[in-house]
Structure 1
């Protein structure tokens, strides 16, 4: 009786309120991509790009420079003709200027740099997506481990109910002298084992729920119901993994770097205007404080760079070849993993068919053992042995069924069907 009360308390705390909340595998994926700390980098990268674009755009605006200097010269320019009336310059001279430079043409380098920055940001965001996507298999492991714990708890409860019913019949048989007094002790011992196994299963479930909640960044209550997904797979279609998109962006970045390099050899034209106040002014023979200004155009063109640009382009071609090689390796390894996962799925499907046959046969054996127990032909130990075998067969069936769904879910993740 004490065992029954302990078990009832455990079951009530486990199953109470299960109808309040439900959670699906797809919802876990969505929470992962939204709440996992790494996901916040997308917003940070957008902010970084905005700052970089503003800095690049600033180069198209006038650049202002303020200069001021005071100098003392040991010697100054003098007119070597006597009686000209031109006073020599002061040894102390002063000048303050404000210059404005406006870029007019630079061969499209600013536009190319802006586009390169955009591609680089997209590449970094795609890398974040890759990291998040790779966590989906971890989500699968935890989610299906919870489902397996739930199945085990439910199966143990069914077994407990069956043993409680048998215990009542055994007690009646002992009372009527049909069975030995020790018969009921065997069943009570088995009930304690079930209590122990249920406690362990509940602890495992709690541990898995805590890990899943931490991974997805959400609060998952103990009473949450976890939906059992019916996962389907398909051998058709190509890989849809985010890594493929990352390889593509890496190659786009390299191509844009080459495009930018091609523009660095073009001339750069800018206009400038300078206004100033100083002694002397632009007229070096007038020894007085004067205002002055200058207007003009400036052309910069690096005519020869000792093949620096060419070598950089060759280095980028090598980088692109490395990316192609990495993509080929990724596709090969992914296809190998898909084939392995497909074999696991086929093996589990065949195993489930055998499990069902074993369960059907073991149920017949348990039914016969139950009748034999009532007639005193076998002991309760013999009966509980057969009942344990049925539990093990059913538990194994549930494990294989969950493993099959897990294998299918992993297959879809590996192929990119959940992208």
Structure 2
């Protein structure tokens, strides 16, 4: 029965001690999904669908209605030999319904649809590029929170160590081994630690709030930020979405060129017109009558003063612009990668030195601890050595976080 109660207690207690956690990759995914700009991708898709329907409607019969009533100052008069024909009325009326059906336009409709599809890809890729550029902002916020989180843990460890030392000093004072008031120095240092902890907590809360707004996801103050294990791969090729965007822009220009090449092609249309008016097609019948006409017509722009050719030449220049932009982007990105790699190398050398410094500081603090117990040094001297060790350990934490941030930024610049 006792064992059952213990199991039930653990099961009930688990949710209360369970702590929410978040990872860097989750932040990447959330900002891509929830940032307001992400909605534009679906809006572009809906807009493209409507535009495509409008273009496709050109293949359907086009129906038009026309009605007119006129009064003219003069009408055709017939010679006396035909005086038996009733003269035409000066007031005339006509209502017609016309149907036009596109039969052939050289593939211009299909080319227009292809161009719209290419434009959609370009717009959606531009949204993706803008969202991707938020990753470095996510990195800065995430690792800043992580630094505050790790600094808090180190500060707590220092506080625990000082509290234990305070008890030892108070015991030494009681037995006359340690100088009186030595405990006051430790108590003052503990108060400073509380101030530092409150400052860290405030800064961390501000960072979390900013990150939460960016990814549109509530983050509790007690949330644990997981330390990512980031590795960089020194590859020669870039995989940035901007490169795909440049390619989509070139594809869009090529589709526009195809459309221009088909715009001057002959267009064949069928038409039919039915109407009711006075007079009708028979001008000699001066009465209201129905009528109709059917036929086909060809429309062909034989010469446009080389306007089409010049438009295609302009598009070719635009292609050259995009090639130039691609070249510039690759150059600047590789420069940024080299700078970031130098930063990584520098921080790694700092970490090696930090570890050596901390080992020396621990030896010094161990000696100071022994001297404090024997009354050789004061509490102030001990705190000085403890603070030196804490600051160096905090520097190591800072460099470790900076190293991971530099690697994360390297991967974002690379496109990994």
| TM-score bin, normalised by smaller chain | over 0.9
For residues 44-99 of structure 1, the C-alpha deviation after alignment (integer angstroms, 9 at most, x for no partner) is: 01100000001001111000010000011111112123454110111111000000
Which residue of 1 is the match for residue 50 of structure 2?
A: 51
The offset of 1:194, in angstroms, is 0.6
Report 1:266-415 matches (<5 A).
Answer: 266-415=265-414
Question: SS state of the match for residue 208, structure 1?
Answer: helix
Equivalent-residue separation in structure 2 for 1:94 and 1:169 (angstroms): 116
For residues 318-361 of structure 1, the C-alpha deviation after alignment (integer angstroms, 9 at most, x for no partner) is: 11101110110000000000011111111111111111111111
Equivalent-residue separation in structure 2 for 1:253 and 1:150 (angstroms): 48
Which residue of 1 is the match for residue 155 of structure 2?
A: 156
The question of 1:75 aligning with 2:74 is answered yes
The offset of 1:179, in angstroms, is 2.2
Which residue of 2 is the match for residue 197 of structure 1?
A: 196
Equivalent-residue separation in structure 1 for 2:55 and 2:118 (angstroms): 15
The answer (yes or no) to whether the contact 1:273–1:293 under 8 Å persists in 2 is yes
Which residue of 1 is the match for residue 238 of structure 2?
A: 239
The answer (yes or no) to whether the contact 1:67–1:98 under 8 Å persists in 2 is yes
Question: SS state of the match for residue 221, structure 2?
Answer: coil
Equivalent-residue separation in structure 2 for 1:401 and 1:83 (angstroms): 111
Equivalent-residue separation in structure 1 for 2:209 and 2:17 (angstroms): 17
Equivalent-residue separation in structure 2 for 1:18 and 1:260 (angstroms): 65
Which residue of 1 is the match for residue 3 of structure 2?
A: none
Which residue of 2 is the match for residue 261 of structure 1?
A: 260
Range with bigger deviation, 281-290 or 171-180: 171-180
For residues 103-125 of structure 1, the C-alpha deviation after alignment (integer angstroms, 9 at most, x for no partner) is: 01101001000000000011000
The offset of 1:182, in angstroms, is 2.0
Equivalent-residue separation in structure 2 for 1:33 and 1:386 (angstroms): 47
Which residue of 2 is the match for residue 13 of structure 1?
A: none
The offset of 1:227, in angstroms, is 0.9
Question: SS state of the match for residue 127, structure 1?
Answer: helix
Structure 1: segments with no counterpart, 5+ residues: 1-15
The answer (yes or no) to whether the contact 1:18–1:223 under 8 Å persists in 2 is no
The offset of 1:310, in angstroms, is 1.1
Equivalent-residue separation in structure 2 for 1:218 and 1:237 (angstroms): 36
Question: SS state of the match for residue 222, structure 1?
Answer: coil
The offset of 1:298, in angstroms, is 1.2
The offset of 1:291, in angstroms, is 0.3
Equivalent-residue separation in structure 2 for 1:121 and 1:75 (angstroms): 58
Equivalent-residue separation in structure 2 for 1:83 and 1:371 (angstroms): 141
Report 1:124-143 matches (<5 A).
Answer: 124-143=123-142
Equivalent-residue separation in structure 2 for 1:272 and 1:282 (angstroms): 17
The offset of 1:364, in angstroms, is 1.0
Count of residues in Structure 1 that have an aligned counterpart in Structure 2 = 402
The answer (yes or no) to whether the contact 1:19–1:224 under 8 Å persists in 2 is no
Equivalent-residue separation in structure 2 for 1:154 and 1:93 (angstroms): 97
Question: SS state of the match for residue 229, structure 1?
Answer: coil
Which residue of 2 is the match for residue 4 of structure 1?
A: none
Structure 2: segments with no counterpart, 5+ residues: 1-14
Which residue of 1 is the match for residue 23 of structure 2?
A: 24
Equivalent-residue separation in structure 1 for 2:18 and 2:111 (angstroms): 57
The offset of 1:185, in angstroms, is 1.2
Which residue of 1 is the match for residue 4 of structure 2?
A: none
Equivalent-residue separation in structure 2 for 1:188 and 1:40 (angstroms): 55
Equivalent-residue separation in structure 2 for 1:408 and 1:17 (angstroms): 36
Q: TM-score, normalised by structure 2?
A: 0.95
The offset of 1:18, in angstroms, is 6.9
Q: TM-score, normalised by structure 1?
A: 0.94
Which residue of 1 is the match for residue 65 of structure 2?
A: 66
